[in-house]
Amino acid sequence: MKVLIYGAGVIGSYLTHVLCAAGNDVTLLARGNWRETLEKNGLRIVHHLQRKTTHDQPRIIGALGREHYDLVFAVMQYGQMWKILDDLVQIDAPLVVLVGNNMDAKEMERYIQAHATIPKTVLFGFQGTGGRREDGKVICVRFGEGSMSLGGVLSEAPESARTVVSKAFQGTKYRLTWVHNMDAWYKCHLVFILPVCYLSYALDCNLTRARGFQIKQVLAAAEEGYKLLDALSFPILPEDTLDKLHGVKGGVSLITMWIMAKTAIGRLAATDHCRHAVAEMEALDKAFVGLREQKPDLPMPNWNALRSSMPDWSTLRMQYRQLN
């Protein structure tokens, strides 16, 4: 199967590795110095938790041609995705999956379908992978063999699209979780990651400094966020999300957050992204403010406390400007 990965960050790189392992004909679009590194040395990934290094040789391109692809994964930060929509419109491919945080999924789907010259199915996904690029390689943190939640923006993915995507990963242990409403899924994910983001910035992107009450406050703020989404009539996805914040499962979530904060996992999975993606996190925060404005009287004391504990966005942009 001919697959294009548009975007060669940590997420796109690991996705490339998996799809190469599945025997696909994989093309990776990269730009700048990173493209030159990939052309010279191939794709080297250090899998942090698995304690191994892999080396793949996908085809590297810096610009789109007229090739046909069976499947395209566009892997960009939220604010950058709008900038590549015209490219996605022009690609000769019947199926495009936009991967990453996305608060404008409905609008992006409409744009692509309105401007495409051939019919396109547009899906949205999120891959749970963290890490960073350094010294000509990718440092990747993942659990198991990796996974992606994906589906249509407001509905189930068509069976034909599910078949194509599943075939691309055939023979791997990479897990696909099909979601019936990715717009709601993204918003639920947002209310979990933003409190972690606020605490990360408050602690100068060093979660090892987090105290117990702050970690509990992150979980309490997330629960407030879910209550807001429920009040706005969004389904809470995955369905067991709230169960994970209460009782025995709540204890497991607390322990998981504590381990993440106190080990390198937190740096690779959370704070590295906060450092390198200030613009994305600011845009996501702005999107959540828009949701809050629809229910201004809903109390969110833990959320407010975390958000007010960090520097303002202009200060953060200056602080991390060399990384963005």
Please identify, among 180, 204, 220, the residue that sits at the C-terminal boundary of a domain: 180
Please identify, among 180, 211, 233, the residue that sits at the C-terminal boundary of a domain: 180
In this structure, are 144 and 205 located in the same domain? no
Q: How far apart are CA 17 and CA 138, in angstroms?
A: 11
- The residue segments making up the domain with residue 280 are 184-323
pLDDT tens per residue, range 275-318: 999 999 999 999 999 999 999 999 999 999 999 999 999 999 99
In this structure, are 195 and 250 located in the same domain? yes
Q: Which residue has the higher pLDDT, 284 or 252?
A: 284
Per-residue confidence at 245, pLDDT binned at 50, 70, 90? confident
Burial class (CB in 10 A: 0-12, 13-18, 19+), 268: buried
**Number of independent structural domains in the chain:** 2
| Predicted local distance difference test score (pLDDT) of residue 260 | 80
Per-residue pLDDT, averaged over 9-30, amounts to 97
Assess whether pLDDT exceeds 80 at residue 197.
yes
| Predicted local distance difference test score (pLDDT) of residue 243 | 81
In this structure, are 146 and 255 located in the same domain? no
Please identify, among 180, 208, 238, the residue that sits at the C-terminal boundary of a domain: 180
| Predicted local distance difference test score (pLDDT) of residue 263 | 86
Burial class (CB in 10 A: 0-12, 13-18, 19+), 51: exposed
| Predicted local distance difference test score (pLDDT) of residue 265 | 81
Per-residue pLDDT, averaged over 35-60, amounts to 97
In this structure, are 190 and 295 located in the same domain? yes
| Predicted local distance difference test score (pLDDT) of residue 324 | 60
In this structure, are 232 and 142 located in the same domain? no
Per-residue pLDDT, averaged over 241-267, amounts to 76
Assess whether pLDDT exceeds 70 at residue 252.
no
In this structure, are 157 and 241 located in the same domain? no
Per-residue pLDDT, averaged over 19-42, amounts to 97
| Predicted local distance difference test score (pLDDT) of residue 258 | 85
Residue 66 maps to which CATH number? Answer: 3.40.50.720
In this structure, are 294 and 198 located in the same domain? yes
pLDDT tens per residue, range 59-111: 999 999 999 999 999 999 998 999 999 999 999 999 999 999 999 999 999 99
Assess whether pLDDT exceeds 70 at residue 251.
no
Going by DSSP bridges, is the β-strand pair 52-56/59-61 parallel, antiparallel, or unpaired? unpaired
pLDDT tens per residue, range 102-148: 999 999 999 999 999 889 999 999 999 999 999 999 999 999 999 99
| Predicted local distance difference test score (pLDDT) of residue 241 | 87
| Predicted local distance difference test score (pLDDT) of residue 240 | 86
- Specify whether the CB–CB gap between 140 and 14 falls below 8 A: yes
In this structure, are 9 and 124 located in the same domain? yes
Lowest mean pLDDT among 27-31, 85-89, 253-257, 315-319: 253-257
Q: Which residue has the higher pLDDT, 68 or 250?
A: 68
| Predicted local distance difference test score (pLDDT) of residue 92 | 96
Assess whether pLDDT exceeds 60 at residue 248.
no
In this structure, are 117 and 199 located in the same domain? no
In this structure, are 44 and 118 located in the same domain? yes
Single-letter amino acid code for the residue at 27: T
Per-residue pLDDT, averaged over 161-181, amounts to 97
Per-residue pLDDT, averaged over 41-51, amounts to 96
In this structure, are 150 and 198 located in the same domain? no
| Predicted local distance difference test score (pLDDT) of residue 249 | 60
pTM: 0.94
In this structure, are 31 and 118 located in the same domain? yes
Burial class (CB in 10 A: 0-12, 13-18, 19+), 171: exposed
Alpha helices by DSSP H, listed for the chain, are 10-21, 32-41, 78-81, 85-90, 105-115, 159-168, 182-202, 212-231, 247-262, 264-266, 272-276, 278-292, 301-309, 313-319
Assess whether pLDDT exceeds 60 at residue 180.
yes
